[in-house]
C-alpha cells in the first residue's frame, strides 16, 4: 500500500497505552479508515529497520480472529503501525462503559481468543504475550479480534517505557522469570474472562497503597547487596532474554514485600474503583505467585466455571493448551451459540 504519514488524516483519539497511543485516521488516497498505533521508540536506525522487518509478519496474518495490518512505517522518532479499525473498540473500554459483559458474550470472546491464539501459533509460531481486555477488539459486525501480539522482539525491547512488558495479567511462572509459552497466554485469558464477566479486575479486594515507600523502593534499597541486578535502568537496557528474567525476586525481597502486604491487609484496606494506580504492581505480582488463583464464582454456569478454572491452573505444565481448551464444553456452547453478537453491539 506504500503508507505515508502525509496521506493519513487524524479523525479521533482512540486511546493511550503504556507503549504509545492509537488514533483513528483516514487514508486519503483510498478513503480507508484505519487505526494508527504510534509507538515512541528508543533505538538506532538499524534497530528501527529490524523492527519494520519483524512487523512484516503482521501482514501475513490472515484470520477472522486477528486484526489485519495495512502497513508500518517510521515517522521519527516513532514507529507507526496502521491496522484495521474496530469501531466498537476494546473489551476493556466496553465493560468500563456498560459494566459486566453478559456471559454469553464472554463465552464467544473466550472462543475467539483461543481460535486466534491457535492460528498465531500453528501458522506463524507466534505467542501473543499480551492477552488482556484492551487487546481484544470488537466491531459492529460482531467480529472479535486480537491485536498487539508479540511479533517483534526488537519492538518490545525498544519501547521507550521501562515498564512495558510488566503486566497484571502475567502468569505466575512469568512473574517468576520463566520464558513465555503459549500457556502463559492462557493464564492471561482466564484473568481477562473473570474481569469481563464480573466487571472488575480480580485480585483487587485486598490492598490499597497507603504506604509512602513503594515496593520499587524496597527493591532499589535491596539492589546493592542482593543477588538481583534489578533496577529500572538496568531493566531498560537489557536484551529481551535478559529482561525476561528480571522478575525473579530474591528471597529477601519476597520476604519484605510479603511483610508489607500483610501489614496493609491487616489494616483492612479497601480498594478503590480506579484501581491499579493505588496498588503496587509488585505487591500484586507477589500475590499472583503466592495465593490461590482467582475463580469465576458460583453465579455462573458450571461449564464457564470449569473452563476458567482450567485457564487458571497455576502450574503451567498442568495448564491446557489452546487446542485442548477448544474441546471444553463451554467452547461447544460457543460454537453452538445462537447469541446475536451483531445485534448486541447496537445496544451501546
CB of 288 to ligand ATP, least distance (A): 17
Joined grid coordinates for residue 80 = 507507526
Whether the Cβ atoms of residue 120 and residue 65 lie closer than 8 Å to each other: no
CB of 344 to Mg ion, least distance (A): 23
| 207 binds ligand ATP per the rule CB under 6 A | no
| 90 binds ligand ATP per the rule CB under 6 A | yes
Q: Which of 42, 87, 130, 274 is catalytic?
A: 130
Give the residues across from 145 on adjacent strands: 137
CB of 115 to ligand ATP, least distance (A): 18
Residues contacting ligand ATP: total by CB under 6 A? 25
Whether the Cβ atoms of residue 326 and residue 114 lie closer than 8 Å to each other: yes
Residues 121-150 that bind ligand ATP (CB under 6 A): 130, 134-135, 137, 147-148
| 86 binds ligand ATP per the rule CB under 6 A | yes
Alpha helices by DSSP H, listed for the chain, are 45-59, 91-98, 103-124, 153-158, 172-175, 182-198, 215-223, 232-237, 240-244, 251-266, 281-290, 302-311, 322-325, 329-336, 341-344
Nearer to ligand ATP, 161 or 337 (CB): 161
Question: How far from the centroid of its chain's Cα atoms is residue 130's Cα?
Answer: 3
Residue 201 to residues 44, 92, 274, 320, 340, Cα–Cα distance (Å): 38, 10, 10, 23, 26
DSSP category for residue 3: -
Task: Please identify which residue in 32, 50, 93, 321 interacts with ligand ATP, judged by CB under 6 A.
Answer: 93
Nearer to Mg ion, 148 or 154 (CB): 148
Residues 117-146 that bind Mg ion (CB under 5 A): 134-135
Determine the Cα–Cα distance for residues 141 and 346; give it in Å rounded to an integer: 10
CB of 156 to Mg ion, least distance (A): 13
Whether the Cβ atoms of residue 308 and residue 194 lie closer than 8 Å to each other: yes
- On the CB side of 217, how many CA atoms lie within 13 Å of its CA? 6
| 22 binds ligand ATP per the rule CB under 6 A | yes
Residue 346 to residues 54, 93, 138, 342, Cα–Cα distance (Å): 37, 15, 12, 7
Nearer to Mg ion, 139 or 231 (CB): 139
CB of 250 to ligand ATP, least distance (A): 27
- Clarify whether 332 is annotated catalytic: no
> Per CB under 6 A, which region of 10-18, 45-53, 222-230, 288-296 contacts ligand ATP?
10-18
| 20 binds ligand ATP per the rule CB under 6 A | yes
Q: Is 37 annotated as a binding residue?
A: yes
Cα Rg of the chain, angstroms: 20
| 162 binds ligand ATP per the rule CB under 6 A | no
Nearer to ligand ATP, 163 or 271 (CB): 163
Nearer to Mg ion, 37 or 286 (CB): 37
Looking at the annotation, which residues are catalytic?
Answer: 130
Binding site for ligand ATP (CB under 6 A): 14-22, 35, 67, 83-86, 89-90, 92-93, 130, 134-135, 137, 147-148
* Binding positions for ATP: 37
Amino acid at each position: 500500500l506504500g503508507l505515508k504519514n502525509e496521506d493519513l488524516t487524524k479523525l479521533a483519539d482512540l486511546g493511550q497505552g503504556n507503549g504509545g497511543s492509537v488514533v483513528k485516521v483516514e487514508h486519503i488516497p483510498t478513503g480507508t479508515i484505519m487505526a494508527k498505533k504510534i509507538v515512541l521508540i528508543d533505538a538506532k536506525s538499524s534497530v528501527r529497520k529490524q523492527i519494520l522487518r519483524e512487523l512484516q509478519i503482521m501482514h501475513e496474518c490472515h484470520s477472522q480472529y486477528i486484526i489485519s495490518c495495512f502497513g508500518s512505517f517510521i515517522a521519527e522518532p516513532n514507529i507507526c503501525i496502521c491496522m484495521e479499525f474496530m469501531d466498537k473498540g476494546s473489551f476493556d473500554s466496553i465493560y468500563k462503559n456498560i459494566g459486566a459483559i453478559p456471559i454469553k458474550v464472554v463465552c464467544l470472546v473466550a472462543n475467539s481468543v483461543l481460535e486466534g491464539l491457535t492460528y498465531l501459533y500453528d501458522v506463524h509460531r507466534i505467542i501473543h504475550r499480551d492477552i488482556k481486555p484492551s487487546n481484544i477488539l470488537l466491531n459492529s459486525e460482531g467480529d472479535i479480534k486480537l491485536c498487539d501480539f508479540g511479533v517483534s522482539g526488537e519492538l518490545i525491547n525498544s519501547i521507550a517505557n521501562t515498564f512495558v512488558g510488566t503486566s497484571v495479567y502475567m502468569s505466575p511462572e512469568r512473574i517468576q522469570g520463566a520464558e513465555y509459552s503459549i500457556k502463559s497466554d492462557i493464564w492471561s485469558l482466564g484473568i481477562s474472562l473473570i474481569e469481563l464477566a464480573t466487571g472488575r479486575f480480580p485480585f483487587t479486594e485486598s490492598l490499597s497503597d497507603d504506604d509512602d515507600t513503594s515496593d520499587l523502593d524496597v527493591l532499589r534499597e535491596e539492589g546493592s547487596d542482593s543477588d538481583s541486578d534489578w533496577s529500572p535502568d538496568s531493566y531498560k537496557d537489557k536484551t529481551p532474554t535478559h529482561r525476561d528474567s528480571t522478575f525473579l525476586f530474591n528471597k529477601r525481597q519476597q520476604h519484605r514485600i510479603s511483610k508489607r502486604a500483610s501489614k496493609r491487609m491487616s489494616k483492612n484496606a479497601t480498594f478503590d474503583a480506579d484501581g491499579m494506580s493505588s496498588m503496587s504492581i509488585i505487591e500484586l505480582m507477589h500475590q499472583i505467585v503466592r495465593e490461590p488463583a482467582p475463580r469465576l464464582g458460583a453465579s455462573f454456569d458450571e461449564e464457564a466455571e470449569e473452563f476458567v478454572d482450567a485457564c487458571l491452573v497455576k502450574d503451567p505444565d498442568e495448564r491446557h493448551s489452546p487446542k485442548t481448551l477448544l474441546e471444553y464444553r463451554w467452547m461447544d456452547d460457543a460454537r453452538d451459540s445462537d447469541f446475536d453478537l451483531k445485534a448486541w453491539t447496537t445496544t451501546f
